[in-house]
Structure 1
Amino acid sequence: MHLLSTLLAFVAALGVLVVVHESGHYLAARWVGVKVLRFSVGFGKPLFTRRWGADATEWSVAAIPLGGYVKMLDEREAPVAAAELSRAFNRQTVWARMLIVVAGPVANLLLAVLLYWGLFLHGVPAIKPVLAEPVPASAAALAGLHQGDEITEIAGQQVQSWMDIDWILLRKLPTQSPLQIKVAGGGMHQLDASGAALGDGKVSVSAQLGLHVYEPALPAIIGQLIPDGVAQRSGLRVGDQIVAVNGEPVKVWSDLVQWVRNNPARLLKTDVKRDSKIVTINLMPELSHEQQQEIGKIGAGPQIDEALFKDMLTEVHYSFGRALQQAFSKTWETSAFSLVMMGRMITGEVSWHNLSGPLTIADYAGQSARSGGLAFVSFLALVSISLGVLNLLPIPLLDGGHLMYYIIEAVKGSPVPDRVMELGQRFGMAALLTLMVFAFYNDVIRLFGSQ
């Protein structure tokens, strides 16, 4: 069922993004008077085709849903009747061609603005930026932060939710340190962030600094069991309360987690309270790997009282005008941050393991869809920005590559030579294939293995 929902969510997300992107090209082409021959969602064999409009444009849905294209009248691809030469793409001014090319990525960015606007108007549920007790000797502990502190500002930037903390840290580091932290009640703290690194994406920047979200203590009661997992095979049942492990008392769920994680493939004598009786169950946590460490897992989850977490949630929303302003700001900042991260990958400051491909995107699409409409819309906005930014990169075959050629043409007064464009196409194809292979490799490692 999860596989089906993931697939449907991925196809739906990709379909929306492709239609919006290609609609940008289509509308710009029509606006400057270029004739559009075909509007295709997907590549390969058409599954559905219909001709519609004054120009009898062919509207098509093809078998491979990993993109799309708008085919325009162009003398470089086929002979054009004399009566329609003025409507050929290659006969347009360089400025008109630049507009058509850039309209696709811009459409994706405008879609993100629209989606964020709707989210901010509606209100987005989020986790309050309340701290757990900082890790001893960490930057947060040395700054004097403690459990229960609610962060309201970082480096002058307003913090409304936990997500804001990592977002601000990623933008401020590594260039700014120390960071001034303001907490509810007016307290100010200086956080030395010089020891944080953007790293390879396995450990968040906030966690590196000893900042962790506060979580109410959960009782050590089994709330869910993975079918045929270690816990279920050993005889644990939903509703069982773990009271001791190897003779040591277990008071909260985190105590049990530590016992399990720290003892992979070791026998744990577990005392369980069941129906007012104490029974003993032997558990041997399954050996697993996480961040190059060996840990134990038993396939069990806690019983969660939603009332405990109700006070930890907040809702971020704005007025009509303020929501639109925030939507533009969010889109701009995310776009700029994407470019910065790409630059840091090139310089080696950030690992290429952060690069994601279609499998990871599909997985996130499925997860966000199962989490609700707001989560899926937020995911769609983020991917739309990524698609817009990626297509503006000056790489031949992408919109940004064509834009680069037209800018050169506008400056020098004549088109880029065909031979140069041919070599550029080869380079662009090689670069994109390399990125695709690397991204797919990361997907496989991230989803099916460990590093």
Structure 2
Amino acid sequence: MNLLIELLAFAVAIGVLVVVHEYGHYSVARLCGVKVLRFSIGFGKPLFQRVSPKTGTEWTIAALPLGGYVKMLDERETGGAPIPAELLDQAFNRKSVWRRFAIVAAGPVANFLLAIVLFALVFATGVTEPAAVIATPAPNTPAAVAGLEGGETIVAARTGDASESEPVRSWSDLRWKLLGAAFDHKRVTLSAKDAHGTSDFQLDLHGVTEKDVDDDFMSHLGFEPGGGKLTVAGVQPGSAAQQAGLAAGDRLRAVDGIPTDNATTFIGYVKSHAGRPLTLQVERPVRGGQSQGQGQLDNIRIVPQSQRDETTGQPIGRIGAELATQVPSIDVHYGPIESLQLGARRTWDLAVYSVRMFGRMIVGEASLKNLSGPVTIADYAGKSARLGPSAFLSFLALVSISLGVLNLLPIPVLDGGHLLYYLVEAVTGKVVSDRWQLVFQRAGLACIVALSAIALFNDLARLIHF
């Protein structure tokens, strides 16, 4: 059943994105007076064909639905056959360089517009997200250095020398604000609310490296969702947790006197104490009846068992307990105008992030493991579809942005490569020769094949965990 959901979600996602992208090309071509011969969704053998009696465009659905194309009237692609004189003014190659530029750019632009609309729909209809409550930050992280102690709710953020703070409505909102500031190595002033009121904290991100942004940068900064309940969901037989007397349903309150409400932070602390005793403060539910208020508090001494980390080869501590975290959530709603503004801003932020990430992969500052192929896309499509409409629409917007950015890369055979040709033509007044276009096309095709191979390898590596 899960496989069927993934395939259906993947088909819907690819279908929508391809139609929108190609319709961008089609609509602007029509506006510029170019005759469109074929609008095809997919490649290969046609499964459905219909010719529009008004425009003469052949609308096609083909057997291989991993893409599409718009074929326009062009003197260079007739195989030597002449174009009727009455149609010459509708040929793509006869249009001005800026009209050709607009037609080619319209595909990626359509993907960005789709992302804005999808994000706006998510914001306008409302979404349930974790609240911006932080757990106790790890020592020496930027959050800890700033003075945050855990349990605070971040309500606003001001980046750099900005005159006004922007509201922080959810954990996702906080993450995006910190991501942008981390990329630019700027200082952030966070307004945090706790039981004593609201205070400002200065977060210094100048020391954050590109690799830190590559990884889970929120954890690196010392930010983990907090304010919730960290409970034991299960205990492995013969483990340190069982020997210490931990049981399913126990709520972990503190470790060595440090409040804990986040699984990631707790696990990291346990890993760093292999073979060394810890003291857990545990709240235990009242057995045998309804409990009112707080349960029984116990202190438990536990010694994490030392095991070898398969990745680093270093000893790490494990207690053999399955954990569950219940974090406070918030329903976030926005008005129509604000939703469009936020949708445009989120689309811009993601597009800039994608370009920066791709640039860093080219120069070797980011891992090529960040590339994903159709298997990973299908997996995430299925997962987001099972989470609900908001998650699926957000996923669709994210992939639409990625498709738009990918097509704008200055690689021949992609839209960006053609746009580069037109810029050269606009500056020099000369069309790039067919010979050089053929050379660049072969080089571009090699780049695309190499990127596809890497993405497919990454998909398989994630699938079989090697």
TM, length-normalised to structure 1: 0.82
Partner residue in 2 for 1:110: 113
- Alignment check: 8 A CA contact 2:133 2:226 kept: yes
1:259 and 1:100 mapped to 2: Cα distance? 56
- Alignment check: 8 A CA contact 2:9 2:382 kept: yes
Partner residue in 1 for 2:142: 139
Cα offsets for 1:344-376 (capped at 9, x unmatched): 223333222222222221111111111000100
Q: Is 2:54 the counterpart of 1:57?
A: no
Q: Is 2:88 the counterpart of 1:85?
A: yes
1:41 and 1:351 mapped to 2: Cα distance? 33
Aligned residue type for 1:217: K
1:285 and 1:9 mapped to 2: Cα distance? 43
Cα offsets for 1:407-446 (capped at 9, x unmatched): 2112222211111111110111111111111222222223
Q: 1:245 aligns with which of 242, 247, 250?
A: 242
- Alignment check: 8 A CA contact 2:72 2:92 kept: yes
Task: Report the CA distance between 1:326 and its aligned residue.
Answer: 1.8
Partner residue in 2 for 1:2: 2
Unpaired runs of 5+ in structure 2? 160-164, 253-262, 275-284, 289-304
Partner residue in 2 for 1:35: 35
Partner residue in 2 for 1:96: 99
Q: Is 2:204 the counterpart of 1:192?
A: yes
Equivalent position SS for 2:75: coil
Partner residue in 2 for 1:268: none
Taking a change above 3 Å as real, the CA distance of residues 193 and 347 of structure 1, as seen in their structure-2 partners, is: same
Paired-residue identity, %: 47
2:323 and 2:170 mapped to 1: Cα distance? 25
Q: Is 2:142 the counterpart of 1:172?
A: no
Partner residue in 1 for 2:453: 437
- Alignment check: 8 A CA contact 1:174 1:194 kept: no
- Alignment check: 8 A CA contact 1:200 1:352 kept: no
- Report which stretch shifted further, 346-355 or 193-202: 193-202
Within-5 A mapping of 1:222-241: 222=234
Task: Report the CA distance between 1:343 and its aligned residue.
Answer: 2.2
Within-5 A mapping of 1:190-229: 190-199=202-211, 203-214=215-226, 216-222=228-234
TM, length-normalised to structure 2: 0.79
Aligned residue type for 2:188: L
Task: Report the CA distance between 1:146 and its aligned residue.
Answer: 1.6
Instruction: Say how many residue pairs are matched.
Output: 414
Partner residue in 1 for 2:126: 123
Q: Is 2:336 the counterpart of 1:320?
A: yes
Within-5 A mapping of 1:214-293: 214=226, 216-222=228-234, 245-249=242-246, 251-252=250-251
Equivalent position SS for 1:38: strand
- Alignment check: 8 A CA contact 1:245 1:259 kept: no
Partner residue in 2 for 1:329: 345
Q: Is 2:403 the counterpart of 1:387?
A: yes
- Report which stretch shifted further, 207-216 or 345-354: 345-354
Q: Is 2:158 the counterpart of 1:158?
A: no
2:154 and 2:269 mapped to 1: Cα distance? 31
1:151 and 1:53 mapped to 2: Cα distance? 59
Partner residue in 2 for 1:348: 364
Taking a change above 3 Å as real, the CA distance of residues 147 and 69 of structure 1, as seen in their structure-2 partners, is: same
Partner residue in 2 for 1:13: 13
- Report which stretch shifted further, 158-167 or 61-70: 158-167
2:240 and 2:232 mapped to 1: Cα distance? 7
- Alignment check: 8 A CA contact 2:182 2:213 kept: no
1:19 and 1:86 mapped to 2: Cα distance? 27
Taking a change above 3 Å as real, the CA distance of residues 331 and 259 of structure 1, as seen in their structure-2 partners, is: closer
1:95 and 1:62 mapped to 2: Cα distance? 31
Partner residue in 1 for 2:438: 422
Q: Is 2:180 the counterpart of 1:181?
A: no
Task: Report the CA distance between 1:289 and its aligned residue.
Answer: 5.3
2:324 and 2:347 mapped to 1: Cα distance? 38
2:149 and 2:57 mapped to 1: Cα distance? 64
Q: 1:377 aligns with which of 376, 384, 393?
A: 393
Task: Report the CA distance between 1:285 and its aligned residue.
Answer: 12
Task: Report the CA distance between 1:194 and its aligned residue.
Answer: 4.1
Equivalent position SS for 2:8: helix
- Report which stretch shifted further, 122-131 or 79-88: 79-88
- Alignment check: 8 A CA contact 1:397 1:429 kept: yes
- Alignment check: 8 A CA contact 2:126 2:331 kept: yes
1:298 and 1:384 mapped to 2: Cα distance? 43
Task: Report the CA distance between 1:301 and its aligned residue.
Answer: 6.0
2:306 and 2:8 mapped to 1: Cα distance? 35
Task: Report the CA distance between 1:298 and its aligned residue.
Answer: 12
1:256 and 1:344 mapped to 2: Cα distance? 32
- Alignment check: 8 A CA contact 1:43 1:63 kept: yes
2:309 and 2:3 mapped to 1: Cα distance? 23
- Alignment check: 8 A CA contact 1:43 1:68 kept: yes
1:209 and 1:323 mapped to 2: Cα distance? 29
1:258 and 1:144 mapped to 2: Cα distance? 20
1:138 and 1:45 mapped to 2: Cα distance? 57
2:213 and 2:44 mapped to 1: Cα distance? 36
Unpaired runs of 5+ in structure 1? 224-230, 236-241, 265-272, 277-283
Equivalent position SS for 1:343: helix
- Alignment check: 8 A CA contact 1:220 1:256 kept: no
- Alignment check: 8 A CA contact 2:181 2:187 kept: no
Equivalent position SS for 2:68: strand
